[in-house]
């Protein structure tokens, strides 16, 4: 029997990507998609790519409409999921939140970086961090999944094995990430207009981006060492994709072979991690996929290690990773529909 799924926030880019993936999933059925401003519109009216593929119509959310659902995805901006999750959890629903409300266990950090208070702090302890390659067992039994941030996924996947194995210094980690415009969501703004983004590259939220404490806290949690990172995100004139370059200092006698062994130790059987060794990854090779491509090189001139990773911010960085987590929660093959 198919699992019944609903999506709160189904009209944004991540919500649309969820719909696309779930419509081809043989084990689930999307029963309802909720969207406040688009309520009453057909999904294929807002996104013509769904013509002849679904008859779903966006609806206003009401708790009674998800009573028979096995899982609810929430794809809303930060600060909004916390208004829905307490009631859903209390009703026994399984939930995957694609936003940032339950990624940080420290409410002071949340308030500092997200610029508003957390109103559902007592539910933070129920949240399991949804990075499948590192938290598979907990994800399988979780009721609430905090899906990682897109930038965070691109940074954590190459860094975690090196931190875990004690191969790099825990301070002085520099992460320079470039993202396509879809990472900012579907809402219109002058800064994201074609005229402003075309033929342009722009750093933003330098030193204050909300993904900084998430990167540091997860590296400490799973990597076993307190770290300090410098994270600088950039907007580039493409629609989708994230390119992260990571600059780290080796600890002790580290070689390219040591790095290769560490990455293979953790990812040799990971279905969505592709290790490229000294080859340089490219965004175009992961667009529309759930893959993360990782390349690396140790530079003898200064002894520094430079790693590169690429993901699609809407798939591995959002909806694809969320479905990967759902597959683990329900005991499906991890790669189903991906």
Is the model's pLDDT at 183 over the cut of 80? no
pLDDT in tens, 84-98: 999 999 999 999 999
End-to-end Cα distance, the chain:
20
Indicate the pLDDT class of residue 185, thresholds 50, 70 and 90. Answer: low
User: What is the average pLDDT across 112-116?
Assistant: 93
CATH 3.30.360.10 assigned to domain 150-313? The reply is yes
pLDDT in tens, 302-326: 889 999 999 999 999 999 999 999 9
Q: What is d(CA 29, CA 22) in angstroms, rounded to the nearest whole number?
A: 7
The reported pLDDT for the residue numbered 302 is 82
Q: 82, 284, 75: which is closest to 186 by C-alpha?
A: 75
Is the model's pLDDT at 187 over the cut of 70? no
Can you list the alpha helix ranges (DSSP code H) found in the chain?
13-23, 43-46, 85-90, 107-114, 132-141, 150-164, 194-197, 211-223, 256-267, 320-330
Is the model's pLDDT at 125 over the cut of 90? yes
DSSP class of 159: H
The two tokens of residue 39 are 């309520």
For the chain, domain boundaries: 3-148+317-330, 150-313
Report pTM: 0.95
14 near 80, Cβ under 8 Å? no
215 near 160, Cβ under 8 Å? no
**Sequence-distant (≥ 6) Cβ neighbours of residue 333 within 8 angstroms:** 327
- The residue whose two tokens read 């419509």 is 23
Indicate the pLDDT class of residue 184, thresholds 50, 70 and 90. Answer: low
What is the percentage of the chain residues whose pLDDT exceeds 90? Answer: 86
The reported pLDDT for the residue numbered 178 is 97
User: What is the average pLDDT across 244-257?
Assistant: 94
What is the percentage of the chain residues whose pLDDT exceeds 70? Answer: 97
* Same fold? 3-148+317-330, 150-313: no
Mean pLDDT for the chain?
94
Largest interatomic CA distance in the chain: 63
Q: Which of 19, 150, 254, 318 is catalytic?
A: 150
The reported pLDDT for the residue numbered 301 is 77
CATH of domain 3-148+317-330: 3.40.50.720
The reported pLDDT for the residue numbered 85 is 97
104 near 125, Cβ under 8 Å? no
The reported pLDDT for the residue numbered 226 is 86
For the beta sheet containing 3-8, the strands, ordered from the edge strand earlier in sequence to the opposite edge, are 58-59, 28-34, 3-8, 71-74, 94-97, 144-146, 127-129
Is the model's pLDDT at 63 over the cut of 70? yes
User: What is the average pLDDT across 175-191?
Assistant: 78
The reported pLDDT for the residue numbered 188 is 57
**Three-state SS at 227:** coil
pLDDT in tens, 135-181: 999 999 999 999 999 999 999 999 999 999 999 999 899 999 999 98
Task: Output Rg (C-alpha) for the chain, integer angstroms.
Answer: 20
Angstrom CA distances, 277 to 19, 149, 255, 256, stand at 34, 25, 12, 8
Indicate the pLDDT class of residue 186, thresholds 50, 70 and 90. Answer: low
Residue 275 sits at φ, ψ, to 5 deg, of -95, 125
Q: What is d(CA 163, CA 103) in angstroms, rounded to the nearest whole number?
A: 20
Q: Is 292 a catalytic residue?
A: no
């Amino acid at each position: 029997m198919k699992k019944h799924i609903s999506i709160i926030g189904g009209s944004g880019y991540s919500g649309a990507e969820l719909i696309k993936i779930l419509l081809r999933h043989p084990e689930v059925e999307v029963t309802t998609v909720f969207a406040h401003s688009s309520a009453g519109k057909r999904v294929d009216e807002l996104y013509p790519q769904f013509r002849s593929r679904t008859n779903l119509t966006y609806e206003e959310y009401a708790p009674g409409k998800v009573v028979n659902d096995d899982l609810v995805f929430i794809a809303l901006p930060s600060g909004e999921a916390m208004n829905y999750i307490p009631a859903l959890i209390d009703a026994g629903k399984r939930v995957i939140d694609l936003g940032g409300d339950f990624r940080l266990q420290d409410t002071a950090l949340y308030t500092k970086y997200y610029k508003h208070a957390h109103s559902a702090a007592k539910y933070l302890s129920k949240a399991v961090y949804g990075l499948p390659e590192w938290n598979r067992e907990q994800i399988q039994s979780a009721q609430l999944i905090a899906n990682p941030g897109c930038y965070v996924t691109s940074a954590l996947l190459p860094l975690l094995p090196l931190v875990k194995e004690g191969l790099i210094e825990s301070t002085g980690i520099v992460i320079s990430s470039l993202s396509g415009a879809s990472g900012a969501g579907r809402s219109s703004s002058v800064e994201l207009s074609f005229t402003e983004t075309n033929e342009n590259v722009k750093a933003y939220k330098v030193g204050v981006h909300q993904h900084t404490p998430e990167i540091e806290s997860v590296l400490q949690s799973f990597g076993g060492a307190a770290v300090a990172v410098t994270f600088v995100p950039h907007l580039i004139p493409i629609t989708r994709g994230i390119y992260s370059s990571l600059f780290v200092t080796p600890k002790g006698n580290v070689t390219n072979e040591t790095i290769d062994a560490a990455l293979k130790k953790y990812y040799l059987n990971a279905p969505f991690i592709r290790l490229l060794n000294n080859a340089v990854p490219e965004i175009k090779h992961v667009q529309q996929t759930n893959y993360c491509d990782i390349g690396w090189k140790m530079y003898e001139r200064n002894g520094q290690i430079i790693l590169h990773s690429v993901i699609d911010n809407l798939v591995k960085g959002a909806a694809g990773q969320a479905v990967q987590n759902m597959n683990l929660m329900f005991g499906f093959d991890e790669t189903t529909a991906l």
